[in-house]
Amino acid sequence: MRKPASFYFFKSKPIVLKDRYEQWRGVAGLLGFTTQERLRVEWMVFYYTAAKEKVTLTAQHFGISRKTFHKWFKRFKDSKYKVRSLADRSRAPHRKRRWEVTLIQEERIRHLRKRYPYYGKKKLKVLYEKEYSEDISTWKIERVIR
C-alpha cells in the first residue's frame, strides 16, 4: 500500500503576519531606538488605533502639544510611514570652521614669541605686521600662543 505524499513532508503551518503596528514596534527595537524615539512610535500606534486618527486625543493622552504631534506625524507620513523617520536627527553643524593659521604664519608667530616671551597677542600683532608687512588677527596669534 502506497503512503500519501503528505506523509513524507511536514504539515504546512499557517503564516502569521504581524499587523503593521507590531511591525513598527519591532523595527524600532531592531534599530535600537531610545526611549523617547520608541515613545514616538507609540504616538503613531495610538493615533491609528485607540484615538481613531484624532490628533487632539493623542496629544492629550501623551501630554504633548498638537503642534509637536503634527511635526512628527508629518515627518512620518512624508517618509511613507518608515519608522526610521521617527529617530532624532543629528544636531551637529553641517560645516565646521577649520584652522585658519597657515604653517608659515604659525612659524613666524613662534619665532616672535621666542624673541619676546613676555609680549601678549596685541604687541605681537604689531611686531608681526611691522616685520612681515602682513595683516594678522590677534585671535590667530592667541591660538598659536596657547
Domain count, the chain: 2
Contact indicator for 124, 113 with CB cutoff of 8 Å: yes
Residue 7, pLDDT > 80, answer no
Classify residue 4: in a domain, yes or no.
Answer: no
Q: Are residues 141 and 114 in the same domain?
A: yes
Phi/psi-derived region of residue 126, left when phi > 0, alpha when psi is between -120 and 50, beta in every other case: alpha
Classify residue 136: in a domain, yes or no.
Answer: yes
Residue range of the domain that includes 34 = 20-86
24/48 Cα distance (integer angstroms): 12
Residue 6, pLDDT > 70, answer no
Q: Which residues contact 62 (CB under 8 A, 6 or more apart)?
A: 39, 42, 43, 46, 69
Three-class DSSP labels, 74-121: HHHHHCCCCHHHHCCCCCCCCCCCCCCCCHHHHHHHHHHHHHCCCCCH
46/25 Cα distance (integer angstroms): 12
Classify residue 1: in a domain, yes or no.
Answer: no
Rg of the Cα trace of the chain? 32
Classify residue 31: in a domain, yes or no.
Answer: yes
Q: What percent of the chain has pLDDT over 90?
A: 42
Q: Are residues 79 and 114 in the same domain?
A: no
Reported pTM: 0.59
Question: What are the tens digits of pLDDT across the range 55-87?
Answer: 999 999 999 999 999 999 999 999 998 889 998
